[in-house]
Amino acid sequence: MYYLVFLALLVGTGLTVAAAFVDMGPMNNVVMLLIAVIKATLVILFFMHVRWSSKLTWVIAMAGFFWLLILFGVTMSDYLTRGWVQGTLR
């Protein structure tokens, strides 16, 4: 079981590197992050045993990543929307 996950992780790494060399425009970043998230999920679920842990453990683990979401989301919502409204400073 661990070996399967291990293989999946290696395949994911290979995919990430290969995808880096293919021009997909802005999708490159999306694909890269998606593969990274899938790899992290595999590690968390299987290697870190969250799949077989209590819901409480799962909630605490997700809380960390939820916090990251808020951090990235709210901060970038500022930077990405600079200049959208006429008259506001860059």
What is the rounded CA–CA span in Å between residue 5 and residue 10?
9
What is the rounded CA–CA span in Å between residue 68 and residue 76?
12
> Which residues between 31 and 50 bind other proteins (CB under 8 A)?
32-33, 35-36, 39-40, 43-44, 46-49
What is the rounded CA–CA span in Å between residue 84 and residue 76?
14
* Distance from the first to the final alpha carbon of the chain: 52
Size of the site for other proteins (CB under 8 A): 46
Query: C-beta of 65: minimal distance to other proteins in Å?
Result: 7
Tokens of 83: 């200049």
Q: Which residues bind other proteins (CB under 8 A)?
A: 2-3, 5-6, 9-10, 13, 16-17, 20-23, 28, 32-33, 35-36, 39-40, 43-44, 46-49, 52-57, 59-61, 63-65, 67-68, 71-72, 75-76, 79-80
